[in-house]
Amino acid sequence: MSVFDRFEESPFGPLGEHMREVKECVALVEPMFRRVQARDYEGLRAITQQVFKLEHQADQIKNEIRRRIPKSFYLPIYRGDLLAYLKLQDDMADSVEDVGVLLTIKNLEMPEAMAEHIMELVRSVLTVCEYLFQCTDQLTNLVEEDFEGPRCKEILDLVAKAEHAEWRADKAQYTASQKLFSLEDEIRATDIMLWSSVLQQLGKLANQADNTAERLRRMLVH
């Protein structure tokens, strides 16, 4: 039986299916950067193809959720909040895809002087995502508890941690950007432009993870 066959019972099963695709996308972020660092461009392209496939699958699930969610069906949260949460969740997969596109426009070299700054940013961004994933892993159980009890508080605590982690990711993005532009006499202008876009997209992914966690918090305390 498909998870969608049980959609009328609760939309949170399909939401969890969608998040699983998003998580698999995000799990490929660090491997992509490791391939760039190693100048393994064939390996990088193989990983980005996986990202594109996962993002497409996430889109299909998103569209099916939007189609099936009943407008008058009782939900423990507002339908509008649920759909806004779904969009934010889906935006994360889109951002990972965008990172993959940027990294494969050309055989982009990771400047040795920047490598640690870039990887620190990647780790910081993934920390924000991980706090969100810990929240969503609890979501189905929370629905069974009618959005109340100690599990709700645990999720709210994780949301606060995601917010702090996003602040740290912002700082890591700023530091990496400073380092990038300090190398403008050593790196081609096109590479600086491309790396700048990559850093911005990583920062966007951290923001989206934080915003998704915040939207979950709003659903819990409405």
Domain count of the fold of the chain: 1
Q: DSSP 3-state helix, strand, coil percentages of the chain (rounded to 5)?
A: 80, 0, 20
Euclidean distance between CA atoms 166 and 206, whole angstroms: 6
Does residue 120 surpass a pLDDT of 70? Answer: yes
Residue given tokens 């918090």 in the structure block: 217
Q: Give 41's contacts (C-beta < 8 A, 6+ positions apart).
A: 35, 104, 107
- Cβ neighbourhood burial of 26 (10 Å; 0-12, 13-18, 19+): buried
Q: What is the span of the domain harbouring residue 134?
A: 3-221
pLDDT in tens, 8-24: 556 677 888 999 999 99
The pLDDT score that the predictor gives to residue 172 is 98
Backbone angles phi, psi at 184, to 5 degrees: -65, -20
Q: pTM surpassing 0.75?
A: yes
Q: For residue 164, name the pLDDT band (cuts at 50, 70, 90).
A: very high
The answer to whether 15 and 86 have CB atoms below 8 angstroms apart is yes
pLDDT in tens, 99-118: 999 999 999 999 999 999 99
DSSP of 49-113: HHHHHHHHHHHHHHHHHHHHS-SSS--SS-HHHHHHHHHHHHHHHHHHHHHHHHHHTTT----TT
Q: Of the segments 73-87, 112-126, 141-155, which one has the largest average pLDDT value?
A: 112-126
* Domain at 40, CATH number: 1.20.58.220
The pLDDT score that the predictor gives to residue 72 is 44
CA 118 to chain centre: 17
The pLDDT score that the predictor gives to residue 70 is 60
The pLDDT score that the predictor gives to residue 82 is 82
